[in-house]
Amino acid sequence: MVDRQRPRRSCLAVPGSSPKMIDKARGLPADQVFLDLEDACAPLAKPEARKTIVAALNEGGWGEKVRVVRVNDWTTEWTYRDVVEVVEGAGANLDCIMLPKVQTAEQVHALDILLTQIEKTMGHEVGRIGIEAQIENARGLVNVDAIATASPRIETIIFGPADFMASINMKSLVVGEQPPGYDVGDAYHHILMRILMAARATDVQAIDGPYLQIRDIDGFRRVAGRSAALGFDGKWCLHPGQIDACNEVYSPRQEDYDHAENILDAYEWFTSEAGGKRGAAMLGDEMIDEASRKMALVIAGKGRAAGMRRTNRWTPPEE
Ligand code: GLV
Ligand code: MG
């Protein structure tokens, strides 16, 4: 079975038409790289970009990164050729296909069927290649639950704020920021929460999309911090300069990671024979129980996936 929960704090967008940027991406500390055949790739450059992408995947050197290719959406004439060329050419060296502007579960089915046929033809394991579904318009958001459950290949649901804002006529000039004249609450909260619920209900990852002001790292942190606080697993980076901030924002803070590991150790001891078989106990000033353990498991899991190390360790009280 494939690990569908690989770390994706930072998902770096790289135009599939640029061998230079693809080469550079290999050495960058992003958790995921996606080579783009869609909006960052001009129509006239797409046929050549398919070949560039196949060569780059087969050449390797991607380390632990999740390797993804974004194909064009099903309303264009390019999708089938994108999928056939890339997966026939480099299916063994590819983790997921990202499908943009998904509007219905059927669009996910169509990609699933095509992938299955190619995997069978090539003699590859059927179902290994995952699908990342981008929600970029009102229809996609309304159907997001069906989209998230449309195929066991689905690994992530991604918010595409630029296309989404255009699709709903939102009056903002800066992706991720508040529209002018809008000063109550958060214009994006509903969309982010809707995507997050669909993702969590089906155990897939929720990923936030791009922040276009690539030189404004404070702005990036502010917008990323919002989806990270809700529970999103990661965000896109459009520029190498956004990656460090991104990895930091979507990793637990050191003190929270230490605390989570300590809750797990302490709760294991308190519930044991030696610890008095207690289901609720005090850790310092904090009451911990089974629900605390579940919360701690989430933080500890994210910290471990990010390679964090403990800087302090709880030990059972001396009798
Ligand atoms: C990403 O594809 C976006 O439209 O924001
Ligand atoms: Mg888009």
Ligand nearest to the CA of 162: 1
Task: Please give the pLDDT value at position 319.
Answer: 60
Quick one: which ligand is closest to 11's CA?
1
Q: Ligand 1 pocket check: which of 73, 99, 134, 135 to mutate, most ligand atoms within 8 Å of Cβ?
A: 134
Please report the pLDDT score of residue 169 as a whole number.
86
Alpha-helical regions (H) of 271-318:
290-305
Share of the chain above pLDDT 70, in %: 96
Position 184 scores a pLDDT of 45
- Which pLDDT does position 182 carry in this prediction? 64
Among protein residues, the one with the nearest Cα to ligand 1's atom 2 is 160
State the DSSP code for 37: S
15 phi/psi in degrees, rounded to 5: -60, 130
Looking from the CA of residue 163, the nearest atom of ligand 1 is 4
* Ligand 1 geometric centre to CA of 220 (Å): 15
pLDDT of amino acid 185: 55
Handedness of CA 212, 215, 216, 222 (dihedral sign): positive
Q: Are 97 and 151 in contact (CB under 8 A)?
A: no
Regarding the beta carbon of 7 and ligand 1, being less than 6 Å apart is answered no
Q: What is the pLDDT of residue 239?
A: 97
For residue 137, report the distance from its CA to the centre of ligand 1, in Å.
Answer: 10
CA 209 to ligand 1: nearest atom: 5
Phi, psi (rounded to 5 degrees) for 41: -130, 115
Look at residue 234 in the predicted model and tell me its pLDDT. 97
User: For 214-247, what is each residue's pLDDT tens digit?
Assistant: 999 999 999 999 999 999 999 999 999 999 999 9
Which parts of the chain have pLDDT scores under 50? Answer: 184
Q: In angstroms, what is the span from residue 162 Cα to ligand 1's centroid?
A: 5
Nearest to 40 by CA among 30, 31, 52: 52
Q: Of 45, 46, 38, 43, which Cα lies nearest the Cα of 13?
A: 38
Q: Return the C-alpha torsion angle 109, 76, 232, 212, nearest 10.
A: 170
State the closest ligand 1 atom to the C-alpha of 161, by its place in the atom list counted from 1: 5
Tokens of 81: 């050729």
CATH number, span 10-249: 3.20.20.60
Q: What is the DSSP letter of 15?
A: E
Cα-to-centroid distance, 140 and ligand 2 (Å):
12
